């Protein structure tokens, strides 16, 4: 072998080695995204999610969007069941007394925390359940039908005070009885405004809206998402949003503070998923992972943006800790507005 041949084969060996290393690196790099893109947690049979409100409510909408986002994650159908009634106790009874295999779970809201101390007192407590994942925080909005004489929060307060002086009260339609997250939200505003009111309880905006449109109540309170079709059609007037800043889906609607009533906006409707506390730990882990993966999906993110919801995306420990703190806030407000004794 002459010198030129030796150089040629030496170069070939080096080049070949580099090529092999490059190929190996390429294979390794492509393997990692394949693992990272594994967005599934396959389950053995269909999953059922129970909502404690009627169809058409913000909670019902959240359950149905989550069901849609979870199906490709768990490789199973996700069924939605509405079990309204008893301020959520009908749903919680089904959760507590139902199967413990993890294939029946429920969507909770902040109202569950208040109901533990009102309608469900001595029946349920937070530790009776496992809190699998926190999903969203939802502000509150007040609205009237388009021909209402109430055109602003100041108009609402003026009319309420006029009625109060005559021994009358405005009728406010909202989700669930006194003690619910919705009723506390309006009570926070009423305390700031110095007005008294009648709280007319419904199971969700699917029932609230007809009452408002039919003139059976003066004002409705709900969340941005379920009200959007009516707001966009011009059939209702949205007065204000209980949030620190305006929400994207209602850019022309002022906050309570902008409307002249700087209330505590830390009170919001939280939503997440909970289940029977006896669900096996490994199944709890699967459910939490599947829920959080669903919350990363394009369809879920689009729904969150569309309805001006704020993401939580918290696992079991973080969400459980958040609810414990929120329950203390709820207790403080319920004492303040006289729903429970000091």
Q: pLDDT per residue over 269-282, tens digit each?
A: 999 999 999 999 99
Which is higher by pLDDT, 2 or 312?
312
Q: Quote the percentage of the chain above a pLDDT of 90.
A: 71
Q: Quote the percentage of the chain above a pLDDT of 70.
A: 89
Q: H-type helices in the chain, by residue range?
A: 3-36, 58-74, 89-97, 110-115, 153-165, 181-193, 205-213, 224-233, 281-294, 298-306, 316-336
Q: What pLDDT digit, counting tens, does each position of 27-79 carry?
A: 444 444 444 457 899 999 999 999 999 888 888 999 999 999 999 999 999 99
pLDDT, position 14:
46
Rounded to an integer, what distance in angstroms lies between the CA atom of residue 320 and that of residue 325? 9
Answer yes or no: are the C-beta atoms of 138 and 311 closer than 8 Å: no
Residue 338 gets the label, from left (phi > 0), alpha (psi -120 to 50) or beta, of: left
How confident is the model over 187-208, as a mean pLDDT? 93
Rounded to an integer, what distance in angstroms lies between the CA atom of residue 80 and that of residue 50? 6
> Residue 315: which pLDDT band, with cuts at 50, 70 and 90?
very high
Q: What pLDDT digit, counting tens, does each position of 181-197 carry?
A: 899 999 999 999 999 99
> Residue 225: which pLDDT band, with cuts at 50, 70 and 90?
confident
> Residue 8: which pLDDT band, with cuts at 50, 70 and 90?
very low
Write down the pTM of the prediction.
Answer: 0.76
């Amino acid at each position: 072998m002459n010198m030129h041949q030796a150089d040629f084969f030496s170069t070939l060996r080096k080049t070949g080695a580099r090529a092999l290393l490059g190929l190996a690196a390429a294979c390794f790099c492509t393997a990692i995204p394949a693992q990272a893109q594994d967005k599934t947690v396959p389950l053995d049979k269909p999953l059922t999610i129970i909502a404690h409100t009627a169809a058409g409510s913000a909670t019902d909408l959240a359950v149905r969007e989550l069901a849609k986002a979870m199906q490709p994650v768990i490789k199973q159908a996700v069924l939605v069941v509405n079990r309204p009634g008893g301020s959520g106790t009908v749903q919680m009874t089904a959760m507590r007394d139902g199967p413990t295999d993890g294939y029946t779970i429920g969507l909770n809201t902040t109202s569950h925390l208040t109901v533990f101390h009102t309608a469900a007192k001595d029946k349920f407590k937070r530790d009776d359940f496992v809190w699998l994942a926190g999903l969203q925080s939802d502000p509150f909005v007040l609205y009237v039908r388009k021909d209402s004489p109430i055109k602003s929060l100041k108009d609402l307060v003026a009319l309420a005070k006029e009625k109060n002086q005559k021994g009358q009260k405005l009728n406010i339609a909202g989700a669930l009885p006194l003690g619910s997250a919705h009723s506390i939200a309006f009570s926070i505003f009423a305390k700031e405004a110095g007005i008294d009111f009648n709280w007319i309880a419904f199971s969700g905006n699917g029932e609230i809206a007809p009452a408002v449109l039919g003139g059976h109540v003066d004002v409705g309170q709900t969340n941005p998402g379920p009200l959007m079709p009516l707001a966009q059609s011009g059939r209702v007037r949205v007065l204000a949003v209980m949030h620190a800043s305006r929400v994207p889906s209602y850019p022309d609607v002022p906050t309570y503070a902008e409307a002249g009533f700087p209330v505590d906006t830390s009170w919001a409707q939280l939503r997440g998923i909970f289940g029977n506390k006896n669900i096996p730990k490994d199944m709890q882990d699967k459910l939490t992972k599947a829920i959080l993966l669903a919350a990363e999906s394009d369809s879920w993110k689009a729904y969150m943006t569309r309805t001006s919801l704020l993401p939580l995306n918290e696992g079991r420990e973080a969400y459980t800790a958040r609810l414990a703190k929120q329950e203390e806030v709820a207790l403080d407000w319920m004492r303040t507005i006289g729903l429970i004794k000091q």
